[in-house]
A and B are shown apart, each in its own frame.
Chain A
């Protein structure tokens, strides 16, 4: 597959995920389940932008690892904060 074709497909997938992902908003029957879904969609979109737009796959390892830590860490934090929000509130009680 040509590089430009890959860009077009990446954009298409990102747009589809954004539109489908937007449909997850407002469905709050199972908050944790929706949070996990939202985090997964976020993770896929971030990885696609990192690899195919930002070209991190061919970047020097330090840049790649730091950016992956940021972009992988965020969806993980979404899930963890949904699962352990009470614990986080207790740990940060002195800050608020």
Chain B
């Protein structure tokens, strides 16, 4: 599947998934995180041994848990969009409910992980690796909260029949934001939890 996906030709023209306003927001988010990643790489270059030892200080179980929650939530959202395109509003709402449940798994794991971190001495004074880790992951958490609020909104709109197969731009725009938030986590996760 992935090989075929990667090799099939791309259209020279295309559509804007969601709407332009959401993409302005998404590129602001991407720019913000690109700057934070620059901070990460510079800090890592200056303290390679500290960053190499960093992943062993964090809970890999928590990091993997966030990843699985976000990926599964994103999968539910993608299904919800397809269900709406097929005029299956109730199925769409069910998929969105699944997306919300898995999405809520992220802050729940965060709460558990922060308690675990503090119990293991990983607070703001625990060195450059931990500070950079909190800097990026808490910023990402804020973006997840925005996404969960947006998810609640599109669930309300779907439940009240505001979207149809022909007009569900708001749902698509939310899906784009949620997948981008997922993409950013897929970058953060290996940087802090895996890279030696």
How many residues on chain A are close to B (CB under 8 Å)? Answer: 64
Instruction: Name the prevailing secondary structure of the B interface residues.
Output: helix
Instruction: Name the prevailing secondary structure of the A interface residues.
Output: helix
Contact stretch, chosen from B119-127, B153-161, B179-187: B179-187
Known: A15-B71, A61-B12, A64-B10. A45 touches B30 (CB 8 A): no
Known: A60-B14, A88-B41. A49 touches B1 (CB 8 A): no
A32 to chain B: closest CB distance in Å?
A: 9
Known: A22-B63, A31-B52. 16 other contacts (CB 8 A): A3-B82, A18-B67, A21-B190, A24-B194, A26-B55, A49-B74, A53-B77, A59-B14, A59-B16, A60-B14, A60-B15, A86-B45, A88-B41, A88-B42, A89-B45, A96-B46
Point out residues on A near B: beta carbons under 8 Å: 1, 3-4, 6-11, 13-15, 18-19, 21-22, 24-28, 31, 34-35, 38-39, 41-42, 44-61, 63-64, 66-67, 70-71, 74, 77-78, 81-82, 85-86, 88-89, 92, 95-96
